[in-house]
Each structure stands twice: as C-alpha cells, then as structure tokens.
C-alpha cells in the first residue's frame, strides 16, 4: 500500500484539530514535539489504496520562526518534508488566513487549500470562486465544514491524488527588491547554502532578517561573506525605501492577498449591512447642508445627460422628417396626386408625427436617468430632501421629481408621477406640471425676448420660468383645497437601502414608460394633428393656414378675445392654435403667417407687438394649454375629467395672467 505523509497547517482556531479528527477518527495518538512540551498529534487513515500519516501542526500565523510554534512547524515542513501540507483555513476570514498559505507556497511545499468554516462563509453572504483561487495559486482547493464532516471525503480524495508540484507561484516584491533578490541569487548560488531550502525563499527570509536562518547561514564556511552581502543589500534597499525592508515585504504579501481575495470572492451584503451602508451614504446624501446641493448637482447632471445626448438625436429625427415631408410631397406631385392629399401627408401626417417623435430621444434618456435614480434608491432620498419644501406647496416630497422633470418635457414629468402613491399627490402634480416651462417653450421665449428685450433676455426668460413655478404653487394649493380638502399626505418617507441598479432592470423600466408614450399618446396626437390640418385646409381650395381657412377664421374669431392681452390679431390666434400641437410650432407658424423666415421674423414681430404685448404673449404661450402630447398623457394617466380641468384651467389662467400683465403693465 502506498504511504504518504501529510501535515495540517493553519492559524489557531481554523479547525485543524477538527479536520484531523474527522480524517483519522480514532486512529491517533498524542505525543510531544522533540525537546519541547508542545503537543504533537499524529494519526492515520487509509483511502483510495493509500495509507496516510497525518500530523496536526501547532496553530501558526506565519513561518517567521518568531514563536516556538512557528519554529516547530517550519522545522517540520523543512526537515520531515511531508508529501502534502493541508492548509486548513477559516475561509470566513480569507485574507488574513491566506497569509500563511502564501508563505507555504513561497516555501514551495505541496499545498492543498482546505477552505474550512464554509458554513460561516455562507452565513456572512460571501461567495468564493474556488476554481479561480485554485487557478491563481496553482493548488487544489477543497471546501469543508469540518465540525459537520462536510467535504472531508473531498479532502481525502485530494490528498491521495498524485500531488502536483505547485505551479510557478511566487509573490513579486517591489522591483528594487526583486532586483536585489536576483543579484543575491547569483552571488549566493555557489556558497554552499543548505539545499533543503528553496533558494528564493532563503533569500527572502534573509532579507526579512529572519534570525534563525541568519544564524544557520553564519555557521557556513563562507558565512561571513554571505552575511555581509545580505546586510549590505538590506541597508541599501532600506535607504531607498525610507523604511524597514521586512515591513515592505509583508505589505507586499498582504497587498497580493487583498487583490486575490477581491478577485476570488464576492460579498453579498446582508440586509443589515446594506442598511448600515445605506445609513452611512445617507448621512451625506440627506445631510442638512449637503442634501440639497447634492440633489441639485444630480439633477443638473441628469439634464446635461438627457439634453446633451438627446438633442442631437432629436435634431436628426427632425431633419429626417423634414426631408421625408419634402420627398413625399415631390413624389406625390410626380404621381399627379391631388394637392390636398400631398398636403395631408406632408404637412399633416409626416410633420405631425415627426413633431411627436422628436421628443422620443429626450424622453427615453430621461426615463433611463430616472430608472437609474429610482433603482439605486436615490430617488427616495431626493424626495426626502425636498419634502419640507414640497409640503409648503401642499404636496409630497416625491412630487418634486416629476415637477423638475417637467422643465425638460412635461410628458415624462407627468408620467413620473406614477412613483407617487397618493392619488391626491398624483393628480395635483399632473395638473400643475404643464406650468413648468418645458424645453419646447424656450424657442418662443428666445424669439420674443431676443426681439423685444435684447438687453435682458436672460432675466426675462428666467422670469417666465419663475412665473411658472409660482403659478404651480398657487394652483396646487387652490386645487388641493377644492378637490382634496380631506385627504392627508402620508407622512412616512420610506428609504429603502441603496443597491446597484441592474442594467437589465433599468432598460426595462425605461422601455416600459417610453413605449407607453409612443403607443397611447401617439394615437391621440395623431388624431389631433389631422384635426388641425383639416382646420388649416378647409374649406376646400383655401391656401393652407391662411386667414380664409377655418383655422384662420378661428384665429380671427379669437382676436377680440386676445385683444385685451395686447395681441388681438388673427396670426397670434392661429399661432397659439398650432402651438397646441407642440409649443415650439408657435415660432414656425408665425414665420409662415408673416411670410418670413425665422431670421426676418424679429423685425416682422416688431410691427405687431410692443414689448409689453410680447411679454404677455410669452406668458400666454407658457400657460394657455398643455400641448397635445401632454394632454394625451394626462388623459392616459388620469381620466377625461382631470384632463378637461387641466385644459380648462390653463386656458382661463393663461388668458387672465396675460391680460393682467398687459393691462396693469399699460398703466406704467
Ligand atoms: P484548531 O485551533 O485549528 O485546531 O481548531 P479546532 O479544530 O480546535 O476548532 C476550533 C473551533 O472551531 C471548534 O469549536 C470547532 O468545533 C470549530 N469548527 C471547526 N470547523 C468548523 C467549521 O467548519 N464550521 C464551524 N462553524 N466551526 C468549526
Ligand atoms: Mg488544535
């Protein structure tokens, strides 16, 4: 029968004796290590046609020979050369326990790594990639729970398997130290150093100042020369390092192990640890002073992300539909199609659908950003940070996000209200969302502010944004008292632990919301577009969107109504009508009606508007009605009653505020 000799090495309390007992059962005896009163346990087992002698080494942390136990273990390993050393480690403290394993490997013994205490590892939520660990270290790795006997069979199998020389495992020290090791290897190769030690290990130990090895070397015939070479090298290395060489080498070993453990193990944080980590993040993120700046910075980043990335895509879609409209029109002319059909297709359908689809990149990106903020758990914090402020508006902290999103586009803003649990909060937030100046209003603002207030454009535009916010506060308060007097806001703000958002989840969330916009809003927008096209084309034979067309007549009919606001002419009425399709269409419409390109539009406007009526017109454009896409979305998210209210109140409010501005402004 084949006989092999193995030793169990490991830190104290790693379960060596338990493994030893499980391996050998009752076939064991206890003696003392030669010359000392340290207990030496030996035993036997046979497995797979092998008779295995097992020695339980004293518990040690390293092989430095600082302590008696370490010296016993090291001498045993070097002198009695066991065939296999089973490193029994407490795998729940992987990094610290692997230090000994690294030292065993440096000594070039045949190591089998026994990851013991796997039950504790699992309880801690750690998973260890044993295959990778085995690959990197070049040794077999076995998992055990020794006190339950789990994995002992695997361990036995690994022990009797023909031992493979450990792979070329080596810890690389700093380049300076490596160079020194190489130089010393050359110098000491033929100086009669004891053959039982691997040369590299010996040099490493000498450089570390290992007293026992140094003692041994000194006794050699060429000992003093060797000692001198080593001391000189150490001194010169320490001069360069600026600190102790042994520390440098120990640090390097731990550095290697830290990297190894990070590579080969993963910690799933338990719920308690996740909560604790969340608390620590929250102490910064929801901090009294830092909370709002962090929130604003993140919002700013979100907007940058959405608009910097989305706008070029939107422009692309825009020019595509522009091209498609022209191409379709000329194609239809070639085919001798009637003029109305070509107009329906290019002015109506293509332009209309295009005006909706241009929003898609921004909407998708915005939903992507929201999904990331939500899935990570930050959104709950943002709501928490803004809660006090929002309560002043009669809303919940969570309403803040939809409102701020409304500055980009009211549609995602309205859809983001789904995160609100209370119906009251949802509906109020939806109703006031169109008062947030979305990016489509900006072209109107810049056109008029540029023409009439070129000196203070920025402040004028800012005043419009601010006006929208103030009106939202007022309107929210009023509607709350009218419709939701008795409903109380939930006081609890839940703060789930943070987690890393999953790419898949984020994309699904983005797509779910984005495609809803496409599907449902799309149909209503489409119908709206056709309706406006009809109004602009009928009665048969009129010039598209001229004063004689139905829409022109509506504009004319509207003129007296708009006149108290200072813009009582049919073109303004028509522009506002078209603005329902999408707010930025107001600019293009005015251009068409005045028969000028956008560049010449400013001077044309100067003939019709005064600065005061221009401001009133901008205010009107801000408030008077949500665009078709927003109306469709409100309907989707609520019902016709609330949609009617949203349209109705904004029409009346827009008119009242525009008139007030024109009339009161006129007094000065
Ligand atoms: P030694 O100092 O390395 O010889 O460790 P022992 O074998 O004396 O074990 C130390 C303690 O750990 C004892 O209470 C064992 O019962 C316990 N133990 C050993 N192996 C395991 C294990 O896999 N899981 C757990 N939970 N405890 C273990
Ligand atoms: Mg023990």
Give the residue whose CA is nearest to atom 17 of ligand 1.
15
Q: What is the DSSP string of 202-265?
A: HHHHHHHT-HHHHHHHHTSTTHHHHHHHHHHHHHHHHHHHSS-HHHHHHHHHHHHHHHHHHHHE
Region of poorest pLDDT, from 213-222, 351-360, 495-504: 351-360
Question: How big is the CA angle at 169 (ends 166 and 175), to the nearest 5 degrees?
Answer: 160
For the Cβ of 18 lying below 6 angstroms from any atom of ligand 1, the answer is yes
Q: What is the pLDDT of residues 564-578, one digit of tens each?
A: 999 988 888 888 888
Binding residues, by number, are 10-17, 21-22, 24-25, 35-39, 56-59, 116-119
Residue 525: the pLDDT is: 65
Q: Which fold has domain 175-267?
A: Helix Hairpins (1.10.287)
| pLDDT at 300 > cutoff 60 | yes
pLDDT band at 522 (very low <50, low <70, confident <90, very high): low
CA dist., res. 128 & res. 142, Å (int): 11
> CA-CA distance, 58 to 41, in Å (whole number)?
9
The position carrying tokens 């990070």 is 262
Q: In what order do the strands lie in the sheet with 141-143?
A: 28-32, 39-47, 50-56, 2-9, 84-90, 111-116, 141-143
Ligand 2 center to 104 CA (angstroms): 19
Rounded CA separation 389/473 (Å) = 11
Ligand 1, atom 19, lies closest to the CA of 15
Q: Cβ(13) to ligand 1 under 6 A?
A: yes
Distance (Å) from CA 167 to ligand 1 centroid: 30
Hey, where are the domains in the chain?
2-160, 175-267, 292-491+540-666
- Ligand 1 within 6 A of CB of 17: yes
Q: Which residues are annotated as a binding site for Mg(2+)?
A: 21-22, 24-25
Cβ(359)–Cβ(405) under 8 Å?
no
Fold matches, 2-160 and 175-267: no
User: Ligand 1, closest atom to CA 12?
Assistant: 2
13 Cα–ligand 1 center, Å: 6
Q: Quick one: how far is CA 366 from the chain centroid?
A: 14
The rounded mean pLDDT for the chain is 85
Burial class (CB in 10 A: 0-12, 13-18, 19+), 595: exposed
Average pLDDT in the 47-58 region? 93
**pLDDT tens profile 132-159:** 999 889 899 999 999 999 999 999 999 9
**124 CB near ligand 1 (under 6 Å):** no
Distance 461 CA to ligand 1 centre (A): 73
Residue 594 near residue 571 (C-beta atoms within 8 A) = yes
Note the pLDDT tens digit of each residue in 154-173. Answer: 999 999 987 666 566 788 88
Instruction: Please give the distance, rounded to the nearest whole angstrom, from the Cα atom of residue 88 to the centre of ligand 1.
Output: 10
User: How close is the Cα of 59 to the center of ligand 1, in Å?
Assistant: 12
What letter does residue 66 receive in the DSSP assignment? -
Ligand nearest to the CA of 20: 1
pLDDT, average across residues 95-118: 92
For residue 16, the ligand closest to its alpha carbon is 1
What is the reported pLDDT for 493? 63
The response to whether residue 149 sits with its C-beta less than 6 Å from ligand 1 reads no
Beta bridge partners of 54: 6, 43
The tens digit of pLDDT for each residue in 438-450 reads 877 877 887 888 8
Look at residues 138, 172, 167, 180 and name the one whose alpha carbon lies nearest to residue 251. Answer: 172
Which ligand has an atom closest to residue 58 CA? 2
For the CA atoms of the chain, what is the radius of gyration?
A: 40
Q: What is the CATH number of domain 2-160?
A: 3.40.50.300
Distance (angstroms) between ligand 1 centre and the Cα of 64 equals 24
Q: Provide the pLDDT for residue 354.
A: 73
Known binding-site residues for GTP equal 10-17, 35-39, 56-59, 116-119
Q: Which atom of ligand 1 lies nearest, measured to the CA of 20? A: 7
The minimum-distance atom of ligand 1 relative to the CA of 120 is: 26
Q: What is the pLDDT of residue 271?
A: 75
597 membership: H or E segment, kind and range: none
In this structure, are residues 571 and 608 in contact, taking their beta carbons and an 8 Å threshold? yes
50 CB-side CA count, 13 A: 18
Taking Cα atoms as reference points, which of 453, 458, 440, 462 lies closest to residue 602? 453
- Do 627 and 580 form a contact (C-beta atoms < 8 A)? yes
Model confidence band, residue 598 (pLDDT cutoffs 50, 70, 90): low
């Amino acid at each position: 029968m084949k006989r092999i000799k193995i030793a169990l090495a490991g830190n104290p309390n790693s379960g060596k004796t338990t493994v030893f007992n499980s391996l050998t059962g009752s076939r064991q005896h206890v003696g003392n290590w030669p010359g000392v009163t340290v207990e030496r346990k030996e035993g036997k087992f046979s497995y797979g046609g092998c008779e295995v002698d097992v020695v339980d080494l004293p518990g040690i942390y390293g092989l430095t020979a600082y302590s008696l136990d370490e010296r016993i273990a090291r001498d045993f390993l070097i002198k009695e050369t066991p065939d296999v050393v089973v490193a029994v480690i407490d795998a729940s403290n992987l990094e610290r326990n692997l230090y000994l394993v690294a030292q065993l490997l440096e000594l070039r013994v045949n190591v089998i790594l026994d990851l013991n205490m796997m039950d504790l590892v699992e309880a801690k939520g750690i998973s260890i990639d044993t295959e990778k660990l085995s690959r990197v270290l070049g040794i077999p790795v076995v998992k055990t729970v020794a006190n339950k006997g789990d994995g002992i069979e695997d361990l036995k199998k690994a022990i009797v398997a023909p031992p493979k020389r450990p792979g070329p495992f080596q810890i690389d020290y700093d380049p300076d130290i490596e160079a020194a090791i190489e130089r010393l290897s050359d110098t000491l190769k033929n100086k009669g150093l004891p053959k039982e030690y691997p040369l590299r290990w010996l040099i490493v130990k000498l450089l570390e100042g290992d007293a026992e090895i140094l003692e041994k070397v000194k006794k050699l015939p060429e000992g003093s020369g060797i000692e001198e070479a080593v001391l000189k090298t150490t001194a010169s290395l320490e001069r360069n390092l600026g600190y102790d060489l042994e520390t440098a080498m120990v640090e390097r070993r731990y550095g290697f192990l830290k990297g190894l453990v990070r590579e080969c193990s993963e910690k799933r944080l338990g719920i308690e640890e996740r909560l604790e980590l969340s608390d620590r993040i929250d102490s910064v993120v929801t901090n009294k002073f830092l909370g709002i700046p962090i929130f604003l910075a993140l919002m700013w980043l979100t907007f940058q992300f959405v608009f910097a990335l989305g706008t070029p895509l939107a422009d692309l879609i825009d020019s595509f539909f522009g091209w498609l409209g022209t191409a379709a029109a000329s194609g239809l002319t070639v085919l001798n199609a009637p003029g109305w059909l070509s107009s329906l297709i290019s002015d109506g359908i293509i332009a209309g659908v295009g005006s909706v689809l241009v929003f898609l990149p921004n909407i998708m990106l915005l939903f992507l950003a929201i999904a990331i903020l939500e899935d990570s758990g930050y959104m709950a914090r943002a709501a928490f940070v803004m809660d006090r402020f929002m309560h002043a508006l009669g809303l919940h902290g969570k309403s803040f996000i939809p409102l701020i999103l409304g500055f980009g586009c009211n549609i995602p803003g309205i859809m983001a209200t789904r995160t609100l649990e209370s119906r009251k909060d949802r509906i109020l937030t939806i109703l006031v969302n169109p008062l947030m100046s979305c990016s489509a209003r900006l072209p109107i603002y810049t056109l008029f502010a540029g023409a009439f207030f070129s000196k203070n454009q920025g402040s004028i535009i800012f005043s419009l944004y601010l006006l929208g916010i103030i009106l939202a506060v007022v309107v929210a308060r009023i509607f709350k008292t009218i419709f939701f007097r008795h409903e109380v806001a939930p006081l609890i703000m839940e703060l789930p632990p943070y987690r890393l958002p999953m790419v898949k989840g984020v994309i699904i969330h983005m797509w779910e919301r984005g495609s809803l916009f496409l599907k449902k809003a799309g149909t209503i927008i489409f119908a709206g577009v056709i309706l406006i096209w009809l109004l602009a084309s009928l009665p048969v034979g009129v010039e598209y969107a001229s004063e004689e067309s139905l829409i022109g007549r509506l504009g004319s009919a509207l003129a007296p109504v708009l006149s108290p606001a200072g813009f009582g002419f049919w073109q303004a009425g028509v522009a506002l009508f078209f603005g329902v399709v999408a707010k930025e269409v107001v600019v293009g419409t005015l251009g068409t009606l005045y028969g000028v390109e956008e560049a010449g539009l400013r001077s044309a406007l100067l003939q019709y508007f005064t600065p005061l009526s221009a401001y009133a017109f901008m205010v009107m454009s801000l408030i008077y009605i949500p665009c078709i896409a927003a109306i469709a979305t409100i309907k989707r998210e609520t019902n016709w009653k609330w949609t009617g209210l949203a349209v109705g109140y904004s029409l009346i409010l827009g008119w009242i505020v525009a008139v007030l501005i024109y009339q009161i402004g006129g007094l000065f």
